[in-house]
A = this chain, B = another copy of it.
Amino acid sequence: MSAEMNEPIEDVEAFRLRARAWIGENMGPPQRGDLVRYYPDDAEELAAVTRDRGLQRRLYDGGFAGICFPRAYGGLGLTPAHQRAFNEELAGREFPSRLTVPTFTPCAAVLLDFGTEEQKLRHIPAILRGDEIWCQLLSEPGGGSDVAGATTSAVQDGDHWVINGSKVWTSGAWWGDYALCLARTNWHVSKHQGLTVFIVKLHQPGLEIGRIERLDGSTESCQEFLTDVRVPDSDRVGDVNEGWVVGTRWMFHERVGHNSPLVTMAAGAFRGGSGEPYVVRIAREGGQLDDPRTRDLIGEARTLDLVGRHLLRRLALGVPSGKLSEHSPAVGRLFGGIAAVRQSTIAFEIAGGAAGTWAEDDGATADVGMRFLMRQAACMGGGTTEISRNVIAERMLGMPREPSMDRNVAFRDVPRGPRQTATTEA
């Protein structure tokens, strides 16, 4: 970015005014399903993805894509303050909500951190134009929070790698284009030592994508089976067996999530889907607006909203400036997960007896029960709240690490279950 430092940077407020005008003319209201991401049928979901690509292209053509991305890769080279101003101006408007996470962060962020110049030039501009949607081939069946325990293997074969294994919980893999994939390239060293990261094209022979049905009927999440998938060495990100160096930043970017300065989104859009207006609407539909108990719950939901917003601002200010630990995003992640769970519970509580059964024409109350069933998803995606607590206690407060049975042991010898023997590469 040194080249850019010679030019004066546009004043944030001037930028804001320019953004306001442009947004006013170009970005419409959000559409149903943009944030819930649940569609009764695939065609409708694909249409929404296509629309998101178009919205990203519109941002790009309008000169507002990649606000904090380097200009060398098609971005604007501006500051987090500019991104924040843009997001604030975008409040209440449509935006490419399926591209925020994981495409812009952690995927594009990881490419910026570790990609070769060639990889960056090939993918970042395409991402900014809406041409590429990225996914994370990270979690594995049975792997849980231990992402570094990946057993998907990559074996070198000339100037290619051959990948075999299975990944899971991949949001939108069935309509995505590329993915970052964490694979094991050495089983004879300890867990963190034998990993490597690759860029994998999602739709190719040997890569089978299955859909996972969730409790609420949605099937956005996928499971992938990789069978002899060949990846050129030029699609390797970072050094061989140094994948956990990449992985650590990857996890960091994932925890930062929607609060990353790389992400363009309407301010407040993902702030507790069941936040203030939603709980008020449910209370009104149920004729409960005047009940002091309901008001207490509305006030609580609103408190969590406001506190969460200002906590994220504090972290956004304190981490880059070094005033807060670099691990502080775990605090935001923990707070956000717990707050979202509580807000889902509040909505469910307010809806009372109406939350268990519903007719399609029931209004806001129709999905309050289903959201409640799914409430823990907020404490899972992007790293569980349990992992956040470990990070806070061990990395921020310096408390002793949990004993683990997989350090200083060849990965092939790590216990993986009461009945299982160690898995090895094929």
Q: Which residues of A line the B interface, CB within 8 A?
A: 291-293, 296, 403
* Distance of A293 Cα from B295 Cα, bound (Å): 9
Per the bound structure, the CA–CA distance linking A293 and B293 in Å amounts to 5
Contacts of A292 in B (CB 8 A): 291-293
B-chain residues with CB within 8 Å of residue A293 when the two chains form the complex: 292-293, 296
Roughly how many angstroms separate A169 CA and B393 CA in the complex, as a whole number? 30
Main secondary structure of the interface of A (DSSP, over half): helix
A100, chain B: closest CB distance, angstroms:
39
- Copies of this chain, count: 2
5 A-B pairs in the complex with CB atoms less than 8 angstroms apart: A291-B292, A292-B292, A293-B293, A293-B296, A403-B403
Residue of B whose beta carbon sits closest to that of A295: B293
Q: Which 3 residue pairs spanning A and B have beta carbons closest together?
A: A292-B293, A292-B292, A293-B293
By beta carbon, the residue of chain B nearest A403 is B403
Docked CA distance A320–B293 (Å): 43
CB distance from A293 to the nearest CB of B (A): 5
With A and B bound together, what is the CA distance between A292 and B294 in angstroms?
Answer: 10
CB distance from A297 to the nearest CB of B (A): 10
B residues less than 8 Å from A403 (CB atoms)? 403
The CA of A296 and the CA of B300, in the complex, are separated in Å by: 16
* Distance of A401 from chain B, by nearest CB (Å): 13
Bound form: Cα–Cα A293–B349 in Å: 14
List chain B residues, Cβ under 8 A from A291. 292
Contacts of A296 in B (CB 8 A): 293
Q: A249 CA to B293 CA in the complex, in Å?
A: 47
| In the bound complex, CA of A293 to CA of B291 (Å) | 9
* Chain B nearest Cβ from A305, distance in angstroms: 21
Chain B residue with the shortest CB-CB distance to A294: B292
Report the separation of the CA atoms of residues A84 and B291 in the bound assembly, to the nearest whole angstrom. 43
Name which residue of chain B comes closest to A291, CB basis: B292
Nearest CB on B from A12, distance (A): 43
Closest B residue to A296 by beta carbon equals B293
Q: How far is the CB of A349 from chain B (nearest CB, A)?
A: 11
Residue of A291, A292, A296, A403 with highest tally of chain B CB at under 10 A? A292
Which of A293, A296, A403 counts the most chain B CB atoms within 10 A? A293
A403 to B403, CA, bound (A): 9
Q: How far, in whole Å, are A291 and B296 apart by their CA atoms in the complex?
A: 12
- Bound state CA distance, A292 and B296, in angstroms? 10
Determine the distance from Cα of A296 to Cα of B291 in the docked complex, in whole angstroms: 12
Alpha-carbon separation in the docked complex, A296 to B403 (Å) = 44
- CA distance in complex: A403, B405 (Å): 13
Complex Cα gap A296–B292 (Å): 10
